[in-house]
Amino acid sequence: MVEVRLEGVSKRFGRVVAVDNVSIVFEDGRFTVLLGPSGSGKSTILYLVAGVYKPSSGRIFFGDRDVTNLPPKERNVGLVFQNYALYPHMTVYENIAFPLRLRGEDEAAIDRKVHEVARLLHIEELLDRRPGQLSGGQQQRVALARALVKEPDVLLLDEPLSNLDALLRLTIRGELKKLQQKLGITAIHVTHDQAEAMSMADKIVVIDRGRVQQEGPPLEVYERPRNLFVATFIGSPPANTLPATVEHRDGYPLIRVAGSLYRPGERHAAKIREAGLDRVVVAFRPEHARLAEHPPEGEDLAFEAEVYLVEPLGRENIVTLEAAGMPVKVVTPPEERPSGRLYVVVPRERVLLFEPETGLSLDHL
Amino acid sequence: MALRLRLRRGGPAGEAAGADVETLERRRLNLVLGLAVGLGLAPVLYLYLLLVLSSFSNTMLTSLPLPGSGVELTLRNWEMLFRGQVAPAAGKIYTTRDIVLIILNTLVVALGVTAVVVAASVMAGYAFSRLRFRWRRGLMEFIILLHAFPGVALIIAVYAVYVWSLGPVRELLGRDSLAAYSVFYTVLARASLEIPMSIWLMKGFFDRIPWEVEWSALIDGASRFTVWRRILLPQVKPGIAALAIFAFLAGWEDLIYVRVFLYPQVKTLATFIEESVAGLETAYLPVVAAAGTLYLIPTIVFFIATQRLLLEAMSGGVKG
Ligand SMILES: Nc1ncnc2c1ncn2[C@@H]1O[C@H](COP(=O)(O)OP(=O)(O)OP(=O)(O)O)[C@@H](O)[C@H]1O
Ligand SMILES: [Mg+2]
C-alpha cells in the first residue's frame, strides 16, 4: 500500500524527550514490530505516524508524500488503541460504521462493508451490542474492525493484545498476521512482549528511551544483538551477562570470566586490541549453554558454577547457577536435574562480547 | 441523599450476600447511620408533612390531624389557588392572582437559568478539560473562589450594574421592554451563581473520557467540532442532565434575586408565597400551603426521579 518513513523525528513533551532523533523505514506491506519497555516511546511513535502528535523536529513520509503537517484524517491510517477507545454510546455496528459515515458513503455501501469486516473478524453476532457488554477480546476485534473497515494504507496497532488472556492472545496473534498478509497492509505493531514480536514480525525495531537500539529480522535481532540492552531485553529468560577482564598473553588478548580463561576468536581479539579494551562484558543466551561434569576439550567458553535453583517448566528446565557471585541461567532438557558444582559450557560461536562503556557489541563496533 | 440511597440498596442486597462478613458489618453501619439521619431529619420532615396536609385541610395544621379534632380534608384550597382567589384582603374579598401566569413566570426564570448554565458550562467545561491555554490553572482556581462567594454578598454590585444598565436599555428598547429586560437580567444574574460549580462538574465529566476516544474519532476523519458533538457530548449526557436539574431548581426556588431584580408585577411562586405570607394576619394560610406544596413539587419529583444520576454526578463528576 504505502511505505512509511520517519526521518530524524523527535518528539518532546516539555522537558521529556519521548522520541529522540528516530529514523525508521516501515516497508510497504510488511509487518513491523516496535518493541521496547514501558515508557520507551513506542506509543508516541505510532501517534506521530497517525498524526495525533506533530513531531518537534524531523519529517514523516508516506511513500513520496510528506505528511509531517497533515492532520490525521488526511493520512488514511487505522489505529487500534491499547485501551481500544471504542465509542461507548454507540453499538458495535455504529462504531464500525462511524468512519464510513464521516466519509459520507451511502447506507447500502456502509451496511455491506460493516458486515464484510464483521464476518472477517467473527463479530457478526455482536453488532447490536454496546462496547460495555463485550469481553476484552471482543472489544479488541471491534476496534480492529473499525480500523480495517476504512481500508487504511497503514494499520497501527498499539499493544492490542495486552489485555487478553494468554490463550486468546496466541490465537489472535496468528489471525492478525494472516489478515495483514491477506490485505497486504503496511502494519506497525507496538508491543513490549518480545515473544509476540518474534512470532509476528517481518522486522523488529527495538526502542529504548526514545531511540532505536536495533532493527532487523527477528532472528538477527535475537542472535546478534547490537548492544547489551537488546541482549538483555529480548529472550526469556534474557541473555546472561558477566563482567570480565582482558589479560594479554604473548600479545593475544585472553578473557578472564568467572575465574576461567577464555580465548576469543581472531575477529574479536582484533577488535579488543584495536579498541584497547581491558574490560569486556561476556554474554550468552541461556538455551545456548549446556552443563557438564568436567571441563570440555577445545576452546569453548567454560566456567565453574554452583547450582542454585532448578525450575521445571515441563518442556524444559531453567537452572539458575552461581558463578563467582553472579547468577547465570541455563536452559536444560526436562529430564536433566543438575545439582552441585558443574561447568557451564558455551560454544564459541554463541559467545557475545560487548564493550562495557557503551554496551555496544564488538561485532558492531 | 447518599445515605438514603445506600440504605435502600443495602436492604435486599445485604440479605442476598448474608454470609459475607464485610457486608454484614456494612449493613449494621448503614442501619446506625440511617437511624441517626432519620432522627435528625424527623422534625423537618414533620413540618413538610404538615405543609402538604394543610393544603388539603380547612385550617392550617400545627399538629397531625387526629380524628375528632374537627379538621376536614378538602380540595377547596387547590381549587381556590387555581381560580386565583389566593390573596384575601381583609374580610372575604379576594385580590385575584393569575396563578397559571405565576407558574409560567417561574418556569421562564427556571428554564432560562437552565439554558444559560448548560450552554456556558458545557462549553467552558470542555475547554478546561481538553484545551491547554495560558492561565488555565489560575482561571480554574478563580472559578472555585467565585463559587465560594455567597450570592447575597454580590447582590449590591449586581444591583448597581442592573441600575446602570436600565438607562441605556430604556433608551434603546423603550420603556415597555423593561419588564422583559428584568426577566432577562434576573436569569443571567441567577445563572452566573450556578455556573462556576457547573463548569467544574462538566470538566470532571469530560475528564473521564479518555483522550484516545477523541483521537480515534479524529483518525476516523472527524473534525474537532464533530468529535465534540458526536463523541463527547453523548458521553457527558448524565452530567448535562444533572447540572440542568440543579440549575432548574435553583431558578425555580430562587427568592432573593427574583425579589430584587424582577419587576414587581412579574411574580414567581417564591415571591408570590412571600407576598401572601407577608399579610400573615389576613392570609388564608391553607391556600398558601397549597402554593407552597406546588412550589415544592419539582424538587421532590426531580430528586426522586434522578437520585441515582445526581449521586453519580456528585461523586464521579467533580475531580481535579
Ligand atoms: N502527552 C504527554 N505528555 C508528557 N509526557 C508524555 C506524553 N506522552 C508520553 N509522554 C512521555 O513520553 C515517554 C514515552 O511515552 P510512550 O507512551 O510513548 O511510551 P510507551 O513506549 O508507549 O510505553 P508503554 O509500553 O507503557 O505504553 C514517557 O516517558 C512518557 O512519560
Ligand atoms: Mg504505549
The predicted pLDDT at position A105 comes to 94
Answer whether A52 sits within 8 Å of B219, measured CB to CB.
yes
Cα angle at B84 between B83 and B90, to 5 degrees?
Answer: 125
Distance from the alpha carbon of residue A39 to the mean position of ligand 2, in angstroms: 7
pTM of the model: 0.79
The best mutation among A12, A38, A43, A163 to test binding of ligand 1, ranked by most ligand atoms within 8 Å of the C-beta, falls on A43
Protein residues with CB under 6 Å of any ligand 1 atom: A 13, 16, 18, 36, 38-44, 192
Q: Where are the domains of chain B?
A: 2-55, 87-314
Q: Which of the four pLDDT bands, split at 50, 70 and 90, describes residue B318?
A: very low
Tell which wins on pLDDT, B15 or A180.
Answer: A180
- What's B87-314's CATH class? mainly alpha
The predicted pLDDT at position B7 comes to 37
Q: Which ligand is nearest to the CA of A39?
A: 1
Answer whether B221 sits within 8 Å of A79, measured CB to CB.
no
Task: Please name the residue that has the C-alpha cell 477507545.
Answer: A85
Region A114-126: what's the mean pLDDT?
Answer: 92
Region B171-191: what's the mean pLDDT?
Answer: 90
Least confident of A65-74, A263-272, A339-348, B57-66: B57-66
* Torsion (CA) A119, A122, A125, A130 in degrees, nearest 10: -110
The predicted pLDDT at position B314 comes to 59
A82 touches B at CB < 8 Å? yes
Q: Which of the four pLDDT bands, split at 50, 70 and 90, describes residue B86?
A: low
Atom of ligand 1 nearest to the CA of A17: 12
3-class DSSP assignment, residue A60: strand
Least confident of A51-60, A168-177, A346-355: A168-177
For residue A92, pLDDT over 80 is answered with: yes
DSSP secondary structure string, B42-77?
A: HHHHHHHHHHHHHTTBSS--SS---TTS---B-SHH
DSSP secondary structure string, B207-268?
A: HTS-HHHHHHHHHTT--HHHIIIIIIHHHTHHHHHHHHHHHHHHHHH--HHHHHHS-TTS--
A85 touches B at CB < 8 Å? yes
The predicted pLDDT at position B186 comes to 93
Task: Please name the residue that has the C-alpha cell 457530548.
Answer: B233
Atom of ligand 1 nearest to the CA of A36: 21
Task: Note whether A27 and A3 are within 8 A (CB).
Answer: yes
Answer whether A85 sits within 8 Å of B215, measured CB to CB.
yes
Q: How many residues appear in chain B?
A: 320
What is the percent of chain A with per-residue pLDDT over 70, rounded to a whole number? Answer: 100
The best mutation among A12, A15, A16, A211 to test binding of ligand 1, ranked by most ligand atoms within 8 Å of the C-beta, falls on A16
Distance from the alpha carbon of residue A36 to the mean position of ligand 2, in angstroms: 10
Task: Note whether B272 and B291 are within 8 A (CB).
Answer: yes
**Residue among B210, B220, B237 minimizing CB distance to A102:** B220
Count CA within 13 A, CB hemisphere, residue B173: 12
Region B158-166: what's the mean pLDDT?
Answer: 91
Question: Distance (Å) from the C-alpha of residue A78 to the closest C-alpha of chain B?
Answer: 7
Distance from the alpha carbon of residue A190 to the mean position of ligand 2, in angstroms: 8
CA distance A289 to A308: 16
Task: Note whether A233 and A209 are within 8 A (CB).
Answer: no
